[in-house]
Amino acid sequence: MIYLKNDEQLALMREPCKILRDALKLAGEHVKPGITTAQLDKIVYDYITSQDAYPSFLNYEGFPKSICASIDEEVVHGIPSEKRYLEEGSIISLDVGVYKNGFHGDAARTFPVGKISPEKQQLINVTKQSFFEAVKIIKEGVRLGDVGHAVDSYVTSFGYSTVKVLVGHGIGHNLHEMPDVPNYGVPGRGLRLQAGMTIAIEPMVNMGDYRVEFLSDGWTCVTADRKPSAHYENTIAVTKDGCEILTL
């Protein structure tokens, strides 16, 4: 079932989304060579809880940390570790959720660690822009196939690929709600968007092939060819004439 949010519910949802936006900004300021992913996790946890909110990912289906920290070929769901130090030239995707007022927000960013190659910087830029290519067309009545196609066609024009086995999702009282929001699609196909829908659009973009594998920890998803991947996500609310990006 798809849950449409009214104005009062959207007002409640904006607060966790704002906390999330600020948590990601804070984490990004600490991304540098030598810091551990566990330290980044603590920074985010401390900030979120200081705002009387809760990290949505902590203990979600058994996930042990507050953030997903995915480095280079890790696509998503990397588990923070005290043994995982960031190295110059890497990229790291941080995916964070916040729960407050009975609602969740979900967003992700990919950051450079120190000085990175032009190729990795372009991957970050294209991944971010692919989200905004989708935003350009979103409004009530648009089909999800058009949204996914907007992401995928932009990404593939650079020779990159979108991950197929993982998708965006509805969000609200639950971290994951209907509908699924793929980063690929056939124009004119799929569910029509309605005003009041809140969805997380999250391009996961591989520098190489679209195929992925899951590591033995049961969470970490990596590119099959071990080429870098980037991730960019925001929670949005669909309106009659466009959308509101709640986590920006």
pLDDT, one tens digit per residue, over 121-140 is 999 999 999 999 999 999 99
d(CA 163, CA 80): 22
Instruction: State both tokens at 163.
Output: 């991950």
Contact (CB, 8 A) for 28 and 109: yes
pLDDT, one tens digit per residue, over 142-165 is 999 999 999 999 999 999 999 999
The CA–CA distances, whole Å, from 100 to 16, 60, 97, 129, 169 equal: 5, 15, 10, 29, 19
Could you give the 3-state DSSP secondary structure of residue 229?
strand
Kind and range of the H or E element at 181?
strand 177-181
In degrees and rounded to multiples of 5, residue 215 shows phi and psi of -80, 170
Domains of the chain: residue spans and CATH: 7-245 (3.90.230.10)
pLDDT at 237: 98
Total-model pTM = 0.97
227-248 mean pLDDT:
98
Angle at which helices 144-156 and 118-137 cross, to 10°: 160
In degrees and rounded to multiples of 5, residue 168 shows phi and psi of -75, -175
Contact (CB, 8 A) for 100 and 19: yes
